[in-house]
């Protein structure tokens, strides 16, 4: 691929034909990545992360499309239908592509400095943190307005 022109925005050529449906989708993910970080600002590392995000997006779209096609063929197709194993493998591939896309977006946003994903220890610490006593309401048998308590009816 050396010697080829770069794409608009300074991105490298990734597909053989960027006018194909995959190329259109790739450019759409490139724009979405730039929009997510608020512009590249000349950073080569940030441009690389946007490209990684766009490639993961194209692969995610292809994996989910393949899975949907296999499901459709299995349910309504005639002739040779895909086996349950093939459908399950396609579902796993789509799930892996989804996770890859999510990780690429997290890494892109982390590089842009907008959001740093919490580590596992930080997430567990935040879950186990006790509620501060200033937020906890004291239990009271009297209503807040000073009137009589409402009657409770048996269930």
CA-CA-CA-CA dihedral for 97, 98, 100, 106, to nearest 10:
160
Residues 43-73: pLDDT tens digits? 778 888 889 999 999 999 999 999 999 999 9
Listed range (29-43, 70-84, 86-100, 122-136) with the worst mean pLDDT = 122-136
Q: Where are the domains of the chain?
A: 21-112
Please, what is the end-to-end C-alpha distance for the chain in angstroms? 75
Residues 73-88: pLDDT tens digits? 999 888 889 999 999 9
Is there a contact between 131 and 65 (Cβ–Cβ < 8 Å)?
A: no
Which tokens is 31 given?
Answer: 């724009």
**pTM for the predicted model, two decimal places:** 0.65
Contact residues for 4 (Cβ-Cβ < 8 A; gap 6+):
13
CA distance 84 to 70: 10
Spatial CA neighbour of 36 closest among 89, 120, 151, 113: 113
With a cut of 50, say whether residue 1 has pLDDT above it. Answer: no
């Amino acid at each position: 691929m050396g010697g080829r022109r770069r794409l608009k925005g300074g991105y490298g050529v990734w597909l053989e034909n960027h006018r194909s449906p995959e190329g259109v989708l790739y450019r759409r993910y490139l724009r979405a990545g730039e929009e997510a970080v608020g512009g590249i600002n000349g950073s080569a590392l940030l441009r690389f992360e946007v490209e990684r995000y766009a490639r993961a997006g194209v692969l995610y779209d292809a994996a989910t499309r393949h899975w949907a096609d296999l499901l459709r063929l299995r349910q309504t197709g005639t002739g040779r239908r895909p086996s349950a194993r093939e459908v399950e493998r396609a579902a796993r591939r789509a799930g892996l592509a989804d996770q890859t896309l999510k990780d690429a977006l997290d890494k892109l946003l982390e590089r842009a400095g907008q959001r740093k994903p919490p580590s596992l220890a930080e997430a567990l610490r935040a879950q186990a943190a006790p509620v501060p006593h200033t937020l906890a309401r004291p239990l009271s048998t009297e209503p807040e307005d000073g009137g009589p308590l409402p009657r409770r009816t048996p269930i």
